Structure 1
Amino acid sequence: MTFSNLANGYAVRSPFWVEFGIQGMGVMPAGNKKEKTGHHHLLIDTPLPPGVSDPLPFSETHRHFGKGQTGTVLELPPGQHTLRLLFADYAHRPYFVFSPEIKVNVGGKRDATPAPQINAAQFDATCRAWYQDEMTTPPRPGKAVYVKNIRDGEVLGSPFLVKLGVMGFGVAPAGSVVKDAGYFVLNVSRNGIPVTSVSLKNGETEAVLDLASGDYDLAVEFLGVDGGRLLKEELPIAVVRKSQKRR
């Protein structure tokens, strides 16, 4: 598990955006039993639970995302705080799957603290502060599907990881009996010709693509559990090399 937009030592203004990432398991809203699926929990200023047999409590330090969310807006008081992601099953019992603990420094209220500005005389430090604030700025309310870690027109080496997020819906495997939820599909084309399609039908939120060098269009669709399209987003990418395979 990882924080897709946060790293240890980040300076943020409150409220701030937190994105969840997980590989190798699918997301499924709480109360729905399915093998190798679960939902995200955020531990705030609290250690990992001592065991995995008891459900996680509901509290300010144990935040549950039982609707299958892939991110949240978090509001914390000024000061240093610790954060850790923990994945748990349909009954809120934790898997042995969690992120490293990170520390974030909350500087103050977003509406009362000026945003960092880049200063040419102190470029490295001010650019770093600006970037951290930019990455944690809450998105506008609404429904959207998006790629967390790739920018429009970005040049990539292959294979590469695609991290996906959705707002306004939860994630759930195809065919689930769950309201307001769905799953991701990645469609890759080149010059308008389909190249490959990856359907994350088990509720996965990350996928690895391996493409030959060239320019591509990456279309991200979010389909309802019944297979109907709910959302779509497109972005061009450029793949410039193939990584050597490890022996």
Structure 2
Amino acid sequence: MKRARGVLFDLDGTLVDSPSVILAAFHDACAPYGAVPLPADARGLIGKPLDTILPLLIPRGDETVWEAAKALFRESFARRSRAAASTLVFPGVRELLTDLSEEGARIAVVTSKITRSAHELLESTGLDRHPDLVIGHDLATRGKPAPDPALLAADSLGLRPEECVVVGDSPDDVTMAVDAGMTAIGVDWGVADAEALFSAGALLVAGSVLELAGHLHDPALQTATKATR
């Protein structure tokens, strides 16, 4: 594989350590409707759109309830993430994004958040100066795991799909990449482990930001991780 001209990063669980904040916001959104404690597998829902998650967490609700819960979630997440902003960015992420930018790579954030919420999180954590583009769930015809968000990002950056790499922590990120004709690199510090990411089609899985940097700088030579499946 040639060195990627574009790198499309997931946000939650990939660039920022937000799953615990998300779970707390899920609790705040569900509590008024008696849908707590959260199910044991709630963490596995992270990375999916709220329109998919909330009917699963509040199964006795209806559209009115889910819309109200969505507003509660967004308010809670914004408040909690601002309070924890100084600790949310994974170690090494700022340096990686800076290096990629200085080397001329185009950077996009492709997330299941709505675009406004993604910008708010990037701004509160100080990562907003790095991406050339932010694609939220609301900008694509279909969200992850459909390829639409990744294809929209590539087109907006003026790149072909085969010139892009997707980096993410969930099988939905990987499926999106594969179906878009892009290389997928998983990271195992988010919501899914290496086995799940490889099963979804990841070419490589990084166990640290340093390892991810190595893959991104020379993916064609970094085959050891794949060989350990």
Structure with bigger strand share is 1
TM-score by length of 2: 0.27
Greater RCO structure (CA 8 Å; 6+ sep): 2
Structure with bigger helix share is 2
Q: Greater Rg, structure 1 or structure 2?
A: 1
TM-score by length of 1: 0.26
